[in-house]
C-alpha cells in the first residue's frame, strides 16, 4: 500500500480507538487518559503489534506517528501552562522546589539500592536510578484538568516540581556522562548548568515582558488565524530552544510558553482554540503512542523480579520523597499525598535517558525493557490513584 494511504488509515484507527476507549473509561468512572493508554498497549507490540501488520509494512509509519506524538505532548504541556495561575505558582515555590528535589534524590537512592541487590555495579545502579528519577507530569496534568484541580495549590506545585525535577535530572545525567566519558568533567558540568540557567532566565523574561502583548497586536493584522499561528510558532520555538540551547526537555519549553500566554488578555480564546486543535487528534496520538512503543514481552521470565522491584522503587520514591517535600512546604497530609502521587508517573524524559544509555552500551536491553515497563505501569496507575484521592471532582 502507498505510504500515504498507510499513514491515513493508521491515523484514523488510532484516533478512533483513543476516543472510543476514552469514552468507555469515563463511563467506568476513570479518566479518559487511562483508556487511551490501555488501547495503545493493546495495539502495540505487547498484544497486537499493529504497526507490523502486513497492511502497514514498509515505510516510516512508526517514526511519523512518534513525531505527531511529540507534538501532542508539547501542546498538552502548553495547555497545562495556560491553566496555571502565575502568581499562585510563585507562592507555591517552596513546596515545588522541595518536592522536586527530594523526589529526584530518593528515586536515585532507591534505584541504586534495588540495582545493587540484583548484582549491578555501582555505576550501573546510579544510571538506573537516574532513569527512574525523571517525572513526566503530562499524564497527571491531563487527569487533574479532567478533575478540575490543576489550578489548585497541589496542581500548581506539581507543575513547578516537574520543572525542578527536569533540571536536576538533566544535570545529573550530564554529570554521569562526564564521569563515564572522561574529559574535563568540572568545566563540562559547569557549562551544562550555565546553559540551563541562561535559557530559563531568558525564557522567563521574554515570557513576562514580550509575549503577553503580542496576541492583541497580531489579532489586528489582516492574517487568518494569526493569533493561533503565533501560539503554535512560539510553542515549537520554545520547545526547540529548551533542548538545543538550554539542554532541558522540550516539554519544559512548551510549558514555559504556556505560562507566557497565560498573561495575555486573549488567554481564554487561546485556550479554547488550542484545546480543540490538540485534543481532536494530537494529544490522543501521544497517549496511544506510549503503548505502541512499549513491549512488555521483552523482559522475559528472568527479569520479572527486577522489573517488579524497580516499579516498587519508582512508585515509593516519588510518593515518599515528593510527599515529604509537600509536608515541609506547608501542605496537609492529604495534599502532600496527592502531590507525591501526581509526581509518580514517568514518561518521555526517562525513556530518552534510557535510550541514550542503551546506545552508549551503559545498560542492557533487558534493563531498557524494565524501564519501559516502569514508565507504562506508573503511567497507568497514576490517573487511577489521583482519581481515588480526589473522590469528588471540584472546580477551583
pLDDT tens digits for 243-259?
899 887 788 889 899 98
Q: What is the pLDDT of residues 1-57, one digit of tens each?
A: 788 999 999 999 999 999 999 999 888 877 788 788 889 989 998 899 999 999 898
User: Taking residues 353-366, what's their average pLDDT?
Assistant: 71
Q: Please give the residue that has the higher pLDDT: either 133 or 14.
A: 14
Is residue 212 within 8 A of residue 261, CB to CB? The reply is: yes
140-175 pLDDT, tens per residue?
Answer: 888 888 888 888 889 989 988 888 887 787 777 766
Stretch 260-286: mean pLDDT, rounded?
A: 93
Q: Domains of the chain by range and CATH? A: 71-278+298-389 (1.20.1530.20)
Does pLDDT of 177 surpass 90? Answer: no
pLDDT band at 352 (very low <50, low <70, confident <90, very high): low
- Closest among 222, 293, 351 to 37, alpha carbons compared: 293
> Does the pLDDT at position 191 exceed 50?
yes
Q: For residues 89 and 161, is the Cβ–Cβ distance under 8 A?
A: no
HEC per residue, the chain: CCHHHHHHHHHHHHHHHHHHHHHHHHHCCCCHHHHHHHHHHHHCCCCCCHHHCHHHCCCCHHHHHHHHHHHHHHHHHHHHHHCCCHHHHHHCHHHHHHHHHHHHHHHHHHHHHHHHHCCCCHHHHHHHHHHHHCECCHHHHHHHHHHCCCCCHHHHHHHHHHHHHHHHHHHHHHHHHHHHHCCCHHHHHHHHHHHHHHHHHHHHHHHHHCHHHHHHHHHCCCCCCHHHHHHHHHHHHHHHHHHHHHCCCHHHHHHHHHHHHCCCCCHHHHHHHHHHHHHHHHHHHHHHHHHHCCCHHHCCCCCHHHHHHHHHHHHHHHHHHHHHHHHHCCCCHHHHHHHHHHCCCECHHHHHHHHHHHHCCCCCHHHHHHHHHHHHHHHHHHHHHHHHHCCCCCCC
Instruction: Please state the pTM of the whole predicted model.
Output: 0.79
The confidence score (pLDDT) of residue 192 equals 78
What whole-number percentage of the chain has pLDDT above 70? 90
Contacts of 156 (CB under 8 A, 6+ apart): 84, 85, 88, 89, 92, 96, 150
C-alpha cell at position 71: 507534538
246 burial via Cβ count (<10 Å: 0-12, 13-18, 19+): buried
Amino acid at each position: 500500500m502507498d505510504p500515504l494511504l498507510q499513514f491515513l488509515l493508521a491515523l484514523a484507527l488510532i484516533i478512533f480507538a483513543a476516543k472510543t476507549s476514552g469514552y468507555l473509561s469515563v463511563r467506568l468512572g476513570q479518566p479518559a487518559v487511562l483508556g487511551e493508554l490501555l488501547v495503545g498497549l493493546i495495539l502495540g507490540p505487547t498484544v497486537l503489534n499493529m504497526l507490523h501488520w502486513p497492511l502497514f509494512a514498509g515505510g516510516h509509519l512508526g517514526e511519523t506517528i512518534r513525531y505527531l506524538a511529540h507534538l501532542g505532548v508539547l501542546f498538552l504541556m502548553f495547555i497545562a501552562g495556560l491553566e496555571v495561575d502565575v502568581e499562585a505558582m510563585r507562592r507555591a515555590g517552596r513546596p515545588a522546589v522541595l518536592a522536586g528535589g527530594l523526589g529526584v534524590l530518593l528515586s536515585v537512592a532507591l534505584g541504586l539500592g534495588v540495582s545493587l541487590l540484583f548484582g549491578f555495579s555501582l555505576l550501573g545502579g546510579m544510571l538506573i536510578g537516574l532513569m527512574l528519577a525523571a517525572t513526566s507530569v503530562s499524564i497527571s496534568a491531563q487527569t487533574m484538568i479532567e478533575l478540575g484541580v490543576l489550578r489548585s495549590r497541589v496542581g500548581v506545585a506539581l507543575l513547578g516540581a516537574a520543572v525542578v525535577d527536569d533540571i536536576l535530572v538533566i544535570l545529573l545525567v550530564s554529570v554521569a556522562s562526564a564521569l563515564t566519558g572522561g574529559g574535563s568533567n568540572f568545566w563540562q558540568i559547569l557549562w551544562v548548568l550555565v546553559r540551563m540557567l541562561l535559557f530559563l532566565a531568558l525564557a522567563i523574561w521574554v515570557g513576562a515582558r514580550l509575549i503577553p502583548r503580542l496576541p492583541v497586536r497580531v489579532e489586528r493584522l489582516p492574517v487568518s488565524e494569526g493569533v493561533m499561528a503565533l501560539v503554535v510558532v512560539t510553542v515549537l520555538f520554545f520547545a526547540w530552544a529548551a533542548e538545543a540551547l538550554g539542554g532541558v526537555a522540550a516539554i519544559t519549553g512548551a510549558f514555559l510558553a504556556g505560562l507566557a500566554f497565560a498573561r495575555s488578555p486573549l488567554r481564554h480564546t487561546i485556550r479554547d482554540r488550542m484545546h480543540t486543535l490538540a485534543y481532536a487528534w494530537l494529544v490522543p496520538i501521544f497517549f496511544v503512542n506510549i503503548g505502541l512503543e512499549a513491549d512488555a514481552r521483552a523482559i522475559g521470565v528472568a527479569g520479572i523480579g527486577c522489573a517488579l522491584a524497580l516499579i516498587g522503587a519508582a512508585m515509593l520514591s516519588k510518593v515518599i520523597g515528593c510527599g515529604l517535600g509537600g509536608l515541609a512546604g506547608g501542605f496537609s497530609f492529604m495534599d502532600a499525598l496527592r502531590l507525591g502521587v501526581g509526581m509518580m508517573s514517568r514518561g518521555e524524559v526517562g525513556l530518552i535517558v534510557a535510550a541514550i544509555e542503551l546506545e552508549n552500551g551503559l545498560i542492557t536491553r533487558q534493563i531498557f525493557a524494565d524501564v519501559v515497563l516502569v514508565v507504562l505501569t506508573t503511567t497507568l496507575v497514576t490517573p487511577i490513584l489521583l482519581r481515588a484521592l480526589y473522590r469528588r471532582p471540584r472546580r477551583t
